Structure 1
Amino acid sequence: MVYRKKNFFLGQLDNIEFVVVLTRYQNKWVFCWHKKRKSYENPGGHVEQGETAMQAARRELYEETGITDCEIIPLWDYEQPWDDEIHRNNGRFYLAIVNSLGELPESEMEKIELFDEVPENFTYDREDALSDFEMASNMLKAWERK
Protein backbone atom coordinates (compact mmCIF):
# COMPACT_ATOMS: atom_id res chain seq x y z
CA MET A 1 0.00 0.00 0.00
CA VAL A 2 1.25 3.51 -0.85
CA TYR A 3 0.81 6.11 1.88
CA ARG A 4 0.27 9.42 0.15
CA LYS A 5 1.53 12.65 1.56
CA LYS A 6 -0.97 15.31 2.51
CA ASN A 7 -0.37 18.95 1.59
CA PHE A 8 -1.12 21.90 3.88
CA PHE A 9 -1.03 25.65 3.53
CA LEU A 10 2.37 27.14 4.19
CA GLY A 11 2.97 27.57 7.92
CA GLN A 12 0.19 25.21 9.04
CA LEU A 13 2.64 22.56 10.24
CA ASP A 14 5.39 22.95 12.78
CA ASN A 15 8.42 20.77 13.40
CA ILE A 16 9.48 20.81 9.73
CA GLU A 17 11.96 17.93 9.41
CA PHE A 18 12.44 17.75 5.63
CA VAL A 19 12.68 20.18 2.74
CA VAL A 20 12.09 19.63 -0.98
CA VAL A 21 13.33 22.25 -3.44
CA LEU A 22 11.58 22.31 -6.82
CA THR A 23 14.22 24.02 -8.91
CA ARG A 24 13.65 26.03 -12.10
CA TYR A 25 16.41 27.15 -14.49
CA GLN A 26 15.82 28.57 -17.99
CA ASN A 27 12.23 27.27 -18.09
CA LYS A 28 13.35 23.73 -17.19
CA TRP A 29 13.19 21.71 -13.98
CA VAL A 30 16.49 20.74 -12.35
CA PHE A 31 16.84 17.15 -11.11
CA CYS A 32 19.74 15.42 -9.38
CA TRP A 33 21.00 11.94 -10.29
CA HIS A 34 21.60 9.97 -7.08
CA LYS A 35 24.76 7.84 -7.30
CA LYS A 36 23.54 4.93 -5.18
CA ARG A 37 19.83 4.91 -6.01
CA LYS A 38 20.51 5.35 -9.73
CA SER A 39 17.49 7.59 -10.20
CA TYR A 40 16.50 11.26 -10.30
CA GLU A 41 15.46 13.31 -7.29
CA ASN A 42 14.63 16.86 -6.33
CA PRO A 43 17.23 18.61 -4.21
CA GLY A 44 16.24 18.30 -0.59
CA GLY A 45 16.77 16.52 2.69
CA HIS A 46 16.74 16.74 6.48
CA VAL A 47 16.61 19.94 8.46
CA GLU A 48 19.62 19.74 10.78
CA GLN A 49 19.51 20.65 14.47
CA GLY A 50 19.70 24.43 14.96
CA GLU A 51 18.84 25.09 11.32
CA THR A 52 15.66 26.69 9.96
CA ALA A 53 13.78 25.04 7.11
CA MET A 54 14.90 27.87 4.77
CA GLN A 55 18.54 27.39 5.79
CA ALA A 56 18.17 23.67 5.12
CA ALA A 57 16.65 24.38 1.68
CA ARG A 58 19.60 26.63 0.74
CA ARG A 59 22.15 24.14 2.08
CA GLU A 60 20.58 21.11 0.40
CA LEU A 61 20.20 22.98 -2.90
CA TYR A 62 23.90 23.84 -2.85
CA GLU A 63 25.08 20.39 -1.69
CA GLU A 64 23.05 18.55 -4.32
CA THR A 65 23.30 20.94 -7.29
CA GLY A 66 26.01 23.53 -6.60
CA ILE A 67 23.41 26.30 -7.03
CA THR A 68 23.74 29.45 -4.91
CA ASP A 69 22.60 32.17 -7.36
CA CYS A 70 18.84 31.92 -6.94
CA GLU A 71 15.73 33.11 -5.19
CA ILE A 72 14.07 30.55 -2.92
CA ILE A 73 10.37 30.86 -2.17
CA PRO A 74 8.47 28.72 0.38
CA LEU A 75 5.41 27.10 -1.23
CA TRP A 76 3.51 24.70 1.04
CA ASP A 77 3.89 22.23 3.90
CA TYR A 78 3.29 18.49 3.77
CA GLU A 79 2.86 15.52 6.06
CA GLN A 80 4.28 12.17 4.96
CA PRO A 81 2.90 9.11 6.76
CA TRP A 82 5.24 6.20 7.44
CA ASP A 83 4.42 2.68 6.34
CA ASP A 84 3.36 1.84 9.91
CA GLU A 85 0.41 4.29 9.51
CA ILE A 86 1.23 5.78 12.94
CA HIS A 87 4.29 8.00 12.56
CA ARG A 88 4.55 10.99 10.26
CA ASN A 89 7.20 13.44 9.07
CA ASN A 90 6.49 17.09 8.37
CA GLY A 91 8.14 18.82 5.45
CA ARG A 92 8.10 21.99 3.41
CA PHE A 93 8.25 22.54 -0.35
CA TYR A 94 10.25 25.42 -1.79
CA LEU A 95 10.70 26.81 -5.28
CA ALA A 96 14.15 27.93 -6.37
CA ILE A 97 14.27 30.31 -9.33
CA VAL A 98 17.86 29.92 -10.53
CA ASN A 99 19.89 32.66 -12.22
CA SER A 100 23.01 30.59 -12.86
CA LEU A 101 24.22 27.07 -12.20
CA GLY A 102 27.18 26.39 -9.95
CA GLU A 103 29.78 23.64 -9.74
CA LEU A 104 28.41 20.43 -8.24
CA PRO A 105 30.27 19.72 -4.97
CA GLU A 106 31.21 16.18 -3.92
CA SER A 107 27.99 14.60 -2.61
CA GLU A 108 25.63 11.67 -3.07
CA MET A 109 24.61 13.26 -6.38
CA GLU A 110 26.50 12.41 -9.56
CA LYS A 111 25.08 15.09 -11.85
CA ILE A 112 22.17 17.42 -12.46
CA GLU A 113 20.01 17.49 -15.56
CA LEU A 114 17.26 19.72 -16.89
CA PHE A 115 13.81 18.38 -17.80
CA ASP A 116 10.43 19.68 -18.97
CA GLU A 117 8.66 17.40 -16.48
CA VAL A 118 9.36 14.78 -13.83
CA PRO A 119 11.64 12.13 -15.37
CA GLU A 120 10.41 8.54 -15.65
CA ASN A 121 13.28 7.24 -13.52
CA PHE A 122 12.27 9.17 -10.38
CA THR A 123 13.23 7.87 -6.92
CA TYR A 124 9.96 8.65 -5.17
CA ASP A 125 6.28 8.38 -6.08
CA ARG A 126 6.12 9.90 -9.56
CA GLU A 127 2.36 10.45 -9.39
CA ASP A 128 2.81 12.65 -6.30
CA ALA A 129 5.70 14.45 -7.97
CA LEU A 130 3.68 15.20 -11.11
CA SER A 131 0.98 16.73 -8.93
CA ASP A 132 3.54 18.79 -6.99
CA PHE A 133 5.13 20.12 -10.18
CA GLU A 134 1.73 20.97 -11.65
CA MET A 135 0.87 22.95 -8.51
CA ALA A 136 4.23 24.76 -8.58
CA SER A 137 3.83 25.48 -12.33
CA ASN A 138 0.42 27.01 -11.71
CA MET A 139 1.91 29.21 -9.00
CA LEU A 140 4.65 30.32 -11.41
CA LYS A 141 2.05 31.21 -14.06
CA ALA A 142 0.13 33.27 -11.51
CA TRP A 143 3.30 35.18 -10.54
CA GLU A 144 4.19 35.79 -14.20
CA ARG A 145 0.79 37.47 -14.78
CA LYS A 146 1.57 40.20 -12.26
Structure 2
Amino acid sequence: METKVYNLGKFRNEELKFAVIVAKFNKEFVYVKHKERSTWEIPGGHREMDEVIDDTAKRELSEETGATRFNIEAVCDYSVEKVGCEINYGRVYYAEIEELGKLPDLEIGEVKLFDSMPENLTYPEIQPLLFKMVQENLRGQR
Protein backbone atom coordinates (compact mmCIF):
# COMPACT_ATOMS: atom_id res chain seq x y z
CA MET A 1 0.00 0.00 0.00
CA GLU A 2 1.25 3.47 -0.86
CA THR A 3 -0.08 6.77 0.44
CA LYS A 4 0.92 10.03 -1.25
CA VAL A 5 0.20 13.62 -0.29
CA TYR A 6 -0.44 16.46 -2.76
CA ASN A 7 -1.03 20.19 -2.68
CA LEU A 8 -4.59 21.19 -1.91
CA GLY A 9 -6.77 21.20 -5.02
CA LYS A 10 -4.81 18.57 -6.96
CA PHE A 11 -8.02 16.58 -7.59
CA ARG A 12 -11.51 17.64 -8.68
CA ASN A 13 -14.40 17.19 -6.26
CA GLU A 14 -15.73 14.25 -8.32
CA GLU A 15 -12.41 12.40 -7.90
CA LEU A 16 -12.34 12.78 -4.11
CA LYS A 17 -13.95 9.85 -2.29
CA PHE A 18 -12.91 10.56 1.30
CA ALA A 19 -12.63 13.40 3.80
CA VAL A 20 -10.33 12.91 6.80
CA ILE A 21 -10.48 15.46 9.61
CA VAL A 22 -7.66 15.83 12.14
CA ALA A 23 -9.49 17.62 14.94
CA LYS A 24 -8.69 19.17 18.29
CA PHE A 25 -10.98 19.86 21.22
CA ASN A 26 -9.60 21.62 24.32
CA LYS A 27 -6.07 21.36 22.83
CA GLU A 28 -6.24 17.56 22.50
CA PHE A 29 -6.64 15.45 19.38
CA VAL A 30 -9.98 13.77 18.78
CA TYR A 31 -9.99 10.10 17.78
CA VAL A 32 -12.94 7.80 17.27
CA LYS A 33 -13.56 4.09 17.59
CA HIS A 34 -15.98 2.34 15.23
CA LYS A 35 -18.52 0.11 17.02
CA GLU A 36 -17.19 -2.96 15.18
CA ARG A 37 -13.46 -2.29 15.75
CA SER A 38 -11.10 -2.03 18.70
CA THR A 39 -8.76 0.48 17.04
CA TRP A 40 -8.65 4.28 16.90
CA GLU A 41 -9.06 6.42 13.81
CA ILE A 42 -9.10 10.01 12.71
CA PRO A 43 -12.70 11.10 12.04
CA GLY A 44 -13.72 10.97 8.39
CA GLY A 45 -15.63 9.10 5.76
CA HIS A 46 -16.99 8.75 2.25
CA ARG A 47 -18.29 11.55 0.08
CA GLU A 48 -21.93 10.95 -0.85
CA MET A 49 -23.13 11.19 -4.45
CA ASP A 50 -23.14 14.82 -5.64
CA GLU A 51 -21.85 16.06 -2.26
CA VAL A 52 -19.14 18.74 -2.19
CA ILE A 53 -16.11 17.34 -0.35
CA ASP A 54 -16.07 20.30 2.09
CA ASP A 55 -19.63 19.38 3.08
CA THR A 56 -18.53 15.77 3.49
CA ALA A 57 -15.89 16.88 5.98
CA LYS A 58 -18.37 18.91 8.03
CA ARG A 59 -20.98 16.14 8.00
CA GLU A 60 -18.51 13.41 8.94
CA LEU A 61 -17.00 15.49 11.75
CA SER A 62 -20.47 16.03 13.24
CA GLU A 63 -21.61 12.43 12.73
CA GLU A 64 -18.44 10.85 14.11
CA THR A 65 -17.65 13.16 17.03
CA GLY A 66 -20.88 14.94 17.93
CA ALA A 67 -19.23 18.30 17.14
CA THR A 68 -21.84 21.05 16.97
CA ARG A 69 -19.58 24.11 16.63
CA PHE A 70 -16.21 24.04 14.91
CA ASN A 71 -13.84 25.79 12.54
CA ILE A 72 -12.58 23.60 9.70
CA GLU A 73 -10.12 24.14 6.87
CA ALA A 74 -8.77 22.00 4.05
CA VAL A 75 -5.05 21.17 4.29
CA CYS A 76 -4.05 18.88 1.42
CA ASP A 77 -5.16 16.11 -0.92
CA TYR A 78 -3.95 12.50 -0.78
CA SER A 79 -4.11 9.19 -2.59
CA VAL A 80 -4.01 5.59 -1.41
CA GLU A 81 -3.00 2.84 -3.79
CA LYS A 82 -3.34 -0.84 -2.92
CA VAL A 83 -1.97 -3.53 -5.21
CA GLY A 84 -4.78 -4.82 -7.44
CA CYS A 85 -7.17 -2.01 -6.49
CA GLU A 86 -8.01 1.34 -8.03
CA ILE A 87 -6.39 4.42 -6.51
CA ASN A 88 -8.57 6.29 -4.01
CA TYR A 89 -8.30 10.05 -3.55
CA GLY A 90 -9.26 12.14 -0.54
CA ARG A 91 -8.84 15.49 1.15
CA VAL A 92 -7.39 16.14 4.59
CA TYR A 93 -8.83 18.80 6.89
CA TYR A 94 -7.97 20.35 10.23
CA ALA A 95 -10.74 21.34 12.64
CA GLU A 96 -10.85 23.06 15.98
CA ILE A 97 -13.97 21.92 17.77
CA GLU A 98 -15.56 24.52 20.02
CA GLU A 99 -18.48 22.43 21.25
CA LEU A 100 -19.19 18.71 21.41
CA GLY A 101 -22.79 17.58 21.62
CA LYS A 102 -24.25 14.11 21.91
CA LEU A 103 -22.65 11.47 19.69
CA PRO A 104 -25.21 10.37 17.06
CA ASP A 105 -26.21 6.70 17.22
CA LEU A 106 -24.46 5.73 14.01
CA GLU A 107 -21.27 3.69 13.42
CA ILE A 108 -19.00 5.37 16.02
CA GLY A 109 -19.09 3.88 19.50
CA GLU A 110 -16.54 6.05 21.32
CA VAL A 111 -14.80 9.41 21.07
CA LYS A 112 -11.60 10.00 23.02
CA LEU A 113 -9.11 12.85 23.38
CA PHE A 114 -5.36 12.23 23.09
CA ASP A 115 -2.24 14.41 23.52
CA SER A 116 -0.78 12.79 20.39
CA MET A 117 -1.61 10.03 17.92
CA PRO A 118 -2.55 6.76 19.68
CA GLU A 119 -0.63 3.60 18.81
CA ASN A 120 -3.57 1.27 18.11
CA LEU A 121 -4.72 2.71 14.75
CA THR A 122 -7.28 1.34 12.31
CA TYR A 123 -5.25 2.53 9.31
CA PRO A 124 -1.59 2.58 10.41
CA GLU A 125 -0.32 2.81 6.82
CA ILE A 126 -2.33 5.99 6.15
CA GLN A 127 -3.17 7.97 9.30
CA PRO A 128 0.37 8.81 10.51
CA LEU A 129 1.24 10.49 7.21
CA LEU A 130 -1.99 12.52 7.12
CA PHE A 131 -1.56 13.50 10.78
CA LYS A 132 2.02 14.61 10.01
CA MET A 133 0.84 16.79 7.11
CA VAL A 134 -1.63 18.60 9.37
CA GLN A 135 1.05 19.06 12.05
CA GLU A 136 3.45 20.56 9.50
CA ASN A 137 0.70 22.85 8.22
CA LEU A 138 -0.04 24.06 11.75
CA ARG A 139 3.66 24.73 12.42
CA GLY A 140 3.87 26.67 9.15
CA GLN A 141 1.00 28.94 10.24
CA ARG A 142 2.74 30.04 13.44
- Give TM-score, length-normalised by structure 2: 0.91
Alpha-carbon contact 2:79-2:89 (below 8 Å) kept: yes
Runs of 4 or more, structure 1, over 3 Å off, are none
Residue 5 (str. 1) matches residue 3 (str. 2) = yes
Q: What is the correspondence of 1:57-76 to structure 2 with a 5 Å cutoff?
A: 57-76=57-76
Please list the CA deviations of residues 4-30 of structure 1 after superposition, one character each: whole Å capped at 9, or x if unmatched: 211110001121111101111122110
Q: Is the 8 A contact 2:35 2:108 kept in 1?
A: yes
> C-alpha root-mean-square deviation of aligned residues, in Å?
1.4
Aligned to 1:29: 29
Q: Which moved more, 1:63-72 or 1:132-141?
A: 132-141
- Structure 2 residue runs without a partner (length 5+): none
1:43, 1:65 within 8 Å by CA — same for their partners in 2? Answer: yes
SS in 1 for 2:119: coil
Corresponding residue for 2:83? 83
Give the AA of the match of 1:16: L
> How many percent identity over aligned positions?
36
TM-score (norm. length: structure 1): 0.89
Inter-partner Cα distance in structure 2 for 1:16 and 1:51:
10
Q: Which runs of 5+ in 1 are unaligned?
A: none
Task: Give per-residue Cα distances to partners, 1:62-121, cap 9 Å, x unaligned.
Answer: 11111120011000001111331x510110001111112121010111110001121111
Alignment length (residue pairs)? 140
The one-letter code matched in structure 1 to 2:18 is F
**Quick one: distance in 1 between partners of 2:26 and 2:87?**
35
